[in-house]
């Protein structure tokens, strides 16, 4: 039975890779894309655009963040429990991808709240006085330009 632990390690390694890729790619986009046009890749098959999502998912569900958090947490728990019975490399990779994605979503949802681990609010949050326009009412969202896509 030494194969089962290796498959669990494969699942965890894939999940860590996905989480790292998610965090790094978002950090690069946030650091370099604001104010720049979308980047077209693969002949326009893939386009990277910088936008802000005010909702919990697809710019909807602003008051439903707790529901999406509960769903993502449930997925993570289910995958970790299912990992005990892994005997397939394919399933280990597939579940690792799902685990990484669900964990990345949990990290995003925690960032949406803007609360750090120490309980303080992040300074870049729209509700923070550090990012408020002096002429705007408290709690208002800053305006971000809508991306313009050629041909649309």
Domain ranges of the chain: 3-31+64-130
Listed residue (56, 58, 60, 83) closest to 71, CA to CA: 56
17, 100 contact by CB (below 8 A):
yes
The H or E element containing residue 39 is strand 39-41
Print pLDDT tens along the chain (152 aa): 455 567 899 999 999 999 999 989 888 888 888 888 888 889 889 888 887 766 666 666 667 777 878 888 999 999 999 898 888 899 999 999 999 999 998 887 777 556 555 556 666 544 434 444 444 444 444 444 454 545 44
Predicted TM-score (pTM) of the model is 0.64
SS3 138: coil
């Amino acid at each position: 039975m030494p194969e089962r632990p290796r498959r669990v390690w494969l699942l965890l390694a894939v999940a860590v890779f996905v989480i790292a890729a998610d965090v790094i790619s978002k950090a690069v986009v946030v650091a370099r894309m604001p104010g720049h046009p979308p980047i077209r890749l693969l002949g326009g098959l893939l386009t990277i655009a910088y936008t802000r999502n005010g909702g919990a998912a697809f710019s909807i569900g602003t008051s439903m963040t707790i529901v999406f958090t509960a769903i993502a947490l449930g997925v993570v728990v289910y995958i970790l429990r299912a990992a005990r019975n892994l005997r397939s490399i394919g399933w280990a990779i597939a579940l690792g991808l799902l685990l990484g994605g669900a964990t990345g979503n949990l990290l995003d949802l925690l960032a949406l709240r803007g609360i750090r681990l120490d309980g303080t609010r992040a300074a870049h949050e729209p509700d923070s006085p550090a990012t408020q326009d002096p002429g705007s009412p408290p709690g208002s969202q800053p305006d971000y330009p809508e991306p313009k896509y050629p041909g649309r």
